[in-house]
Amino acid sequence: MRAVVQRVSEASVQVEGKTVGAIGKGFVVLIAVKKGDTEEHARWMAHKIANLRVFPDEAGKFNLSLLDVKGEALVVSQFTLYGDIRRGFRPSFTEAAPPEEAEPLIEKFIQALREEGVQVQSGIFGAMMLVKIFNDGPVTIILDKE
């Protein structure tokens, strides 16, 4: 699994002009599933993200997690994170899991984040989405679980 985690002051996702998920302070998690990923990968990723310390403490140091600040997560599936452009200019997505494998693992990831104690909103798997992100900092972290 691969995730791009952005610390946000607020974010939302729309499908066909309707808001399907919105959060205040927290993380937008753009997440993709690779062929061969498992539920263990989803649980590991959820635990890592819930406890990722990128929120400032009183001294301004990155010492607080999403759980510490009672932040929320907006999860958006994005298979294009596995786009390979090492050759040519058109990305290849051969490493990305097919939808029938990816969707259950995205749902498992969301469930695991909730089990960690995070309030979670999400986009709609496979839909064309408009994601509004107010990146705070900006702070953006890339996580891979191979």
pLDDT digits (tens, 9 = 90+) for 31-84: 999 999 999 999 999 999 999 999 999 999 999 999 999 999 999 999 999 999
Catalytic residues: 78-80
CATH number for region 2-144: 3.50.80.10
Write down the mean pLDDT value for the chain.
97
Give the integer Cα–Cα distance in Å for 57 and 35: 38
Q: Give the chain's length.
A: 146
- pLDDT at 146 exceeding the cut of 80: no
Contact 73, 112 (CB under 8 A): no
Give the integer Cα–Cα distance in Å for 1 and 20: 24
Nearest to 139 by CA among 64, 68, 35: 64
Q: What share of the chain is helix, strand, coil (3-state, %, to 5)?
A: 25, 40, 35
> What is the pLDDT at residue 33?
98
